[in-house]
Amino acid sequence: MVKKKRLRLIAEMARKIRAYRELKSRPRDSQKYAVDYETMKRPLTGKMLPVMAWQDVRRESRLFSLLAGMRTFGVGRLFTRKSWLEDHTEPSYWQITKVKVDYTAENMDHGKAWGILTYKGKQETDVKEVDKVMYHDWRLVPKHLEQQMKDFTPLPEPPLRYVPYPPLLRAMMLAQHSKVAGSVLPEEPALPLKRDVLLNKDYFRQQEQEKPGKEGTAV
């Protein structure tokens, strides 16, 4: 006879209380990313910002510093970054579709935003959370330039290039194919010079979600 699992109500309640206290004690983004512009340090951790970033911190704005002063918090407008303007000739920008403001922050200049990313002239289809909103390099795209950026047509991608495999790896592949199929490869094996997987934040987040969950220790 299978023994019936005993419910541990007190242990489950204690686990929920610990999780709630941990959530309440966690610093908000407005505390985590606050900056003392005189000393260039973060008050929460006491760490100093990199010297190379001081000029941008004083001159440029964070995304929510721009959104907080706009009607409907900038939903529907285009925002770009200084680093994109300097590094790419193609237009790169976010079109904001949703904003969740942290109303506990001073001047309401912290929170989360979602939108559609257009990077180097290629627009993505899915709405994603805007990353790096705390960086001091965000700029609002003027109204008279929005349509010009949207009408940009990216250049076609160059044809995929192939290179021959190294001699030892080529010999191993030919021998393996001859052993399994009993015949010679009809074409010379070649290695494509293109990565099939884009190693961005979404890729690593998906890898973390696919990992099996670990059960916690019982109380």
Q: Please list the pLDDT of the chain residue by residue as tens digits (219 residues).
A: 566 666 678 888 888 888 888 877 888 888 888 888 889 998 888 889 888 888 888 899 999 999 988 888 999 999 999 999 998 889 999 999 999 998 888 788 889 999 999 998 889 989 999 999 989 999 999 999 999 999 988 878 778 788 888 899 888 888 888 888 888 778 888 888 876 666 666 667 777 777 765 444 443
Q: Per the structure block, which two tokens stand in for 200?
A: 């961005």
Assigned token pair, 122: 């290629």
Q: Which of 209, 211, 174, 170 is nearest to 191 (CA)?
A: 170
Q: Which two tokens stand for residue 40?
A: 């260039």
Decide: helix, strand or coil at residue 96. strand
Q: Domain locations in the chain?
A: 29-152, 162-189
For the beta carbon of residue 191, count every other beta carbon within 10 angstroms.
Answer: 13
- Classified as helix, coil or strand, 191 is strand
Q: What is the pTM of this model?
A: 0.66
Question: Which distant-in-sequence residues (6+ apart) come within 8 Å of 156 by Cβ?
Answer: none
Do 72 and 140 touch, CB atoms closer than 8 A?
no
Rounded distance between C-alpha atoms, residue 72 and residue 93, angstroms: 19
